[in-house]
Structure 1
Amino acid sequence: MSWGEIAGLVAAAAAVVFVALCAVPLLKLGGVMDELRLAVRRLGEGTTPILDELKGTVSTTTQEIARLSEVTEELAKMSRSASTMTEQAANVSTVVSTPLVKTAEVVGKGATAARDVGRRVQEHRPRRRARAVAGELEPGE
């Protein structure tokens, strides 16, 4: 055996050792890939019911949002109606209160005038009586 043949045998042995050393990680990587494939399959099987349930939840939520939109529209209508009623009540209050206030003013002034007339009459009566008793009043006075 020559040195070339020995070198060839050493190189062949080194190549066999290198292939053996590379085979172990490749076999482990193959096992990891199998586990990953199984995990993805299980994930797909577990996700499908969740997605179906989520689809139903989204559908129900969409219906509730539509109902909420209707309720909001109705509340807006009620708010506008309440605002209109408040304005009308203010108008009615103004229409009713203005004549009542004026009537109260007239009645108050009339009462004051009547009281003033009553005082004047009472003030003049004693003098008139005194003059009548004294004979100073002329007929028709």
Structure 2
Amino acid sequence: MSVGEVAGLLAAAALVALVGFLAVPILKLGRTVDEFTLVVRDLRQEHVAKTATTVDETNELLASTNAQLQRIDAITSNAQTVTTNVAAMSSLFAATLGGPLVRTAAFTYGVRRAIAARRDGAAAGTGRRRRFGSR
């Protein structure tokens, strides 16, 4: 064997030793990557399950909220109907009793003023005069 062949054999042996030496960390890194892949898969499945649960709960909440809003809509429309009816009754009351009530109030006011004026006049001596000769 020549020196070149021995050098080639030594280089080949060194390369095999280097590959063997580097194979251990590469295998450990491969196992780490496999474990990481499993962890990510488990987390993803867990996350998907939680997300599905959250979406289901959100759908239930939205359905419940929609039902409540429909009830509130019915209550609001009933309140609007009541308000319209009260306004109509108020207008009817004002039209039916408002005029006579105002006239009655004006009449009683006039009567009170007349009675008060008569009392004030009698106290001052300017009231109604008596006929001559009658007492």
TM-score by length of 1: 0.67
Equivalent AA in structure 2 for residue 48 of structure 1: G
* Corresponding residue to 2:49 among 70, 77, 85: 77
User: Which secondary structure does the structure 2 equivalent of 1:91 belong to?
Assistant: helix
Please name the residue that 2:81 is paired with: 109
Residue 12 (structure 2) pairs with residue 40 (structure 1): yes
> How many pairs align?
105
Alpha-carbon separation, structure 2, partners of 1:120 and 1:46 = 107
Equivalent AA in structure 2 for residue 88 of structure 1: E
Please name the residue that 1:52 is paired with: 24
Residue 72 (structure 2) pairs with residue 90 (structure 1): no
Alpha-carbon separation, structure 1, partners of 2:6 and 2:13 = 11
Please name the residue that 1:100 is paired with: 72
Shift of 1:124: 2.3
Alpha-carbon separation, structure 2, partners of 1:88 and 1:45 = 65
Please name the residue that 2:125 is paired with: none
Identity of aligned residues (%): 8
Shift of 1:101: 0.7
Shift of 1:128: 2.7
Alpha-carbon separation, structure 1, partners of 2:89 and 2:104 = 21
Please name the residue that 1:14 is paired with: none
Alpha-carbon separation, structure 2, partners of 1:68 and 1:79 = 16
Shift of 1:131: 7.0
Shift of 1:110: 0.4
Equivalent AA in structure 2 for residue 122 of structure 1: A
Shift of 1:33: 1.9
In structure 1, runs of 5+ residues without a counterpart are 1-26, 134-141
Cα distance change on mapping 1:130 and 1:62 into 2, 3 Å: closer
Say which is worse superposed, 112-121 or 48-57, in terms of deviation. Answer: 112-121
In structure 2, runs of 5+ residues without a counterpart are 106-135
Runs of 4+ in 1 over 4 A off after TM superposition: 130-133
Shift of 1:111: 1.1
